[in-house]
Amino acid sequence: MIPRDQLQRVVLEVAVASFGNAGFTRVQLREAVEVHLRTNHIWTPADDADSQSTDPKSKGHANIDYCISDLAHLRLITRIRRNFWRVGADETGDEDAPPDRIPTTVLRTVRDTALARLIKAQCKHLCQVCHIPLAQADGSNYVEAHHVRPLAARHGGNDRADNIIVLCPNHHALFDLGVPEFISPSVVRIAGREFTLTPEPNLAWANIKYYNTNKIGNKKAIGGKPTICK
C-alpha cells in the first residue's frame, strides 16, 4: 500500500502538471493519478490487492478518491482548480467549495524549509518590497517565502536562495498574480511605481527572466498563454 502522504503528494503533482490551464473534474484527476501511478510503477498489482476499492475495474480508485477528498478538505485541490487556473467558484462543482479567499498556509507551511526560515530571518521578517511589519500574537512578524520561479514540476523552479524572496501576504498575492515586473534583480515595478527589494535578494537571473516571461499579464508569454499563477 502506498503511504497516504506519498499518494497525496502524487495527487497534487498530477493536478498541477497534467491539466495545463484547463479545469478538471474529480474523475479526470483520479484517472490521471492512476495512470501516473501505474506508468511510473508506483502502484503495483500488489497494491491492487490491498486496495479498498470494491469495483474490480477501478482497483485503487478508492484510495485515490480518499486522498482527493482529504486534499479537497484541506482546500488544496479546490485552490489549485480555482486559483491556479482561475476556475470560477461556480465552475468547480465542489459541494464544499470554500469562499473566494481561502487559506493558503498549508502549502506554504510545507515549503517553510530551514532555508526559507533563514532567509526570512536575514530579512528581519519584513517584506522586501514594503517592509511593513505584520505582528503576530507572540510579537514576531509574519512573512512568507515566495519562489520567483514556482516549484511546481511544470515550472521547474528550485528551492534555493537564488529563487526566494520574502514578502508580506499582500505582496505575495501580487507576485502570485504576476502583477510586479522585475526591471533588475533587485527592483520591481508595480502599477508604474518602482520598488527596490531590500535587503537585496540574491536571485538568479534565469529565475527572474522565467517569471517576467511567463507571469500572468505578460501577453508575450510563450504560446500567448501566461503560465505562472502560483
For Zn ion, the binding residues (CB under 5 A) are 127, 129-130, 168, 171
Between 87 and 168, CB nearer to Zn ion? 168
Q: Give the H or E element holding residue 214.
A: helix 205-214
The CB-of-129 to Zn ion minimum distance in angstroms stands at 4
The CB-of-101 to Zn ion minimum distance in angstroms stands at 17
Among all chains, which residue has been given the C-alpha cell 537585496?
Answer: 200
Between 41 and 101, CB nearer to Zn ion? 101
C-alpha grid cell, residue 224: 500567448
Between 80 and 129, CB nearer to Zn ion? 129
Q: How many CA atoms lie within 13 A of 159 on its CB side?
A: 13
**Which residue number has the CB closest to Zn ion?**
127
The CB-of-80 to Zn ion minimum distance in angstroms stands at 25
What distance in Å separates the CA atoms of residue 134 and residue 121, rounded to the nearest whole number?
A: 14
Between 61 and 171, CB nearer to Zn ion? 171
How many C-beta neighbours within 10 Å does residue 146 have?
24
Between 141 and 213, CB nearer to Zn ion? 141
- DSSP string covering 42-111: SS-HHHHHH-----GGGTTHHHHHHHHHHHHHTTHHHHIIIIIS---HHHH--TTPPPSS---HHHHHHT
The CB-of-138 to Zn ion minimum distance in angstroms stands at 20
The CB-of-165 to Zn ion minimum distance in angstroms stands at 10
Angle at 79 between CA 211 and CA 102, to 5 degrees: 105
